[in-house]
Amino acid sequence: MLRMSALCRRGLAEGERRARVVVTEESTRGDGTIMSQPDLVVVVVVSVVLAVSSPPVPRSTCSLGAGPNSIGLSTFCLGVVLTRLSFCIISMRTRHLGLLRRAGASLSPCFRQVGLRLRASSPSQSRNLSTSRPQIIFSGIQPTGVPHLGNYLGALQQWVRLQNISPPDTTFLFSIVDLHALTSRQPPASRLASRRSLLASFLAIGLDPSRSILFHQSAVPAHSELHWILSCDASMGWLSRMTQWKSKLSEEELASLLNPTPNPKQRERMKLGLFSYPVLQAADILVHRATHVPVGEDQLQHIEFASNCARQFNHAFGGGDDAEGKAKTEILVPPEFVVSPAKRVMSLTEPDKKMSKSHPLDRSRIMLDDSEEDIIKKFKTALTDSLPGISYDRANRPGVTNLIEIMSHMDPDGKSCEQIAEDLKDSSLRVLKEEVARVVVEHLRPMREEYLRLMSQNNKRLEEIAEEGAVKARESADKTMQLVREAVGL
């Protein structure tokens, strides 16, 4: 007697192998959504149930339509087909795997093993920072002067944490992306001052130039060279769907994007630099062969685009595909993302909007170089509500929730938002504001003091660190560009 489960195991293995080949070929041609997330879950569950619940079939009847046990064989075939389909959908839409990854802690050990195997076949997924080969972590920030609290909690604090906890063979590159900043006009003297103050902020928050490569993007010409090479094959359709691009234009401007005679306002706003911004961002990452990129949730789309650029380039110039449909030579490395645990820090005056330097009110944000008196004053005037007590409720109490989250991210004891809300539930809003101000002041004090020291006119250390970082960054980028030039025939 031949057990159907044995057939299923062989059929599922074959289905998975072939699905990977199909997915690799399809992933180089588009990113279309095939099935919604609920449908995906249904397909996976049904496939597993069908595979494990099929009845035993006698060897003599192992053919379709042969006697009463043909239902079992039909069930087996349906299970294999659905499983292949589910692997295709999962591999093509990597954000579904992101959901499975976040839910992994609640899965049984059996399904957790399956989740790990699926992630391994999808290079654009965010995985734990524990892989066999040394990791290269890259991230960048525009030079807009001293960072505010949202920049620090959303990105910079994560950089320092990764630097301090990662294995010694991990390479870190943190860039001041001054070429990206050219998409907005600024006086040259102001731009130079912003570059210097941001580098001082890097050092003040704890980035160590002996452990991390700190450099200006413009000091590494390979960023711009790879930008052009990737631009020659980048999809305008994909770029036009970028959230950041669409957020800068109105519906009328989007509709008239290809209009040969746009009005002056449209011509002013529809800049090529802004449109191709994601391509340069992809070049920033890929030129250093970065394996992981720490980002906020609003940048995940850009990391997905960078991964797609790498796969397309490898498919086109990687010497053909292997038996599984993957490029034989991995010239560019598809990066993975590391999402910061801190959510968006909201404005102190409009808690439904992100904290930003562009807000007209200075008291809407906390700058890392603010004096203790200014920090206390800004929190004292923070917008909350008129409800009694303290509770953690993002939907109904956004202002109070924003203060609780800020306090949680900077609390020396690592208290959660729920713990803080419980401790202060019977307190007044004034007490909450005072507590948040106290925690923030104590956390930022050593950073502010170090920043002011570095910014002193007689301190030449900033220029030395920038030059040392540029040399190391150029060495890193030149290794990749040598491979790229050989691949494309330059």
Residues designated catalytic = 248, 354, 357
Q: What tokens appear for 424 in the block?
A: 């202060």
Instruction: Report the C-alpha gap between 124 and 333 in whole angstroms.
Output: 10
Map tokens 């961002």 to a residue: 281
User: Which has the closest alpha carbon to 195: 391, 434, 470?
Assistant: 470
Q: Minimal CA–CA distance to 305: which of 32, 121, 21, 31? A: 31
Under DSSP, is residue 139 helix (H, G, I), strand (E, B) or coil? strand
Rounded CA separation 46/216 (Å): 52
**Alpha helices for 188-221 (secondary structure H):** 188-205
Which residues have CB under 8 Å from 48's CB, separation 6+?
none
Those residues with Cβ within 8 angstroms of residue 402's Cβ, 6 or more apart along the chain or in another chain: 345, 346, 348, 351, 382
Nearest Cα neighbor of 144 from 386, 326, 357 is 357
Residue identified by tokens 């989740």 is: 115
* 170 in Cβ contact with 134 (< 8 Å): yes
Q: For the stretch 115-151, what's the b/e string if a residue is b when 16 or more beta carbons lie within 10 angstroms of its beta carbon?
A: beebbebbbbbbbebeeeeebbbbbbbbbbbbbbbbb
Sorted by sequence, the CB contacts under 8 Å of residue 78 that are 6+ apart come out as 50
The Cα–Cα gap between 162 and 146 comes to: 21
Cα–Cα distance, 314 to 427 (Å, whole number): 59
Read off φ and ψ for residue 168, nearest 5 degrees: -60, -25
Which segments of 151-236 are extended strands (E)? 171-176, 212-216
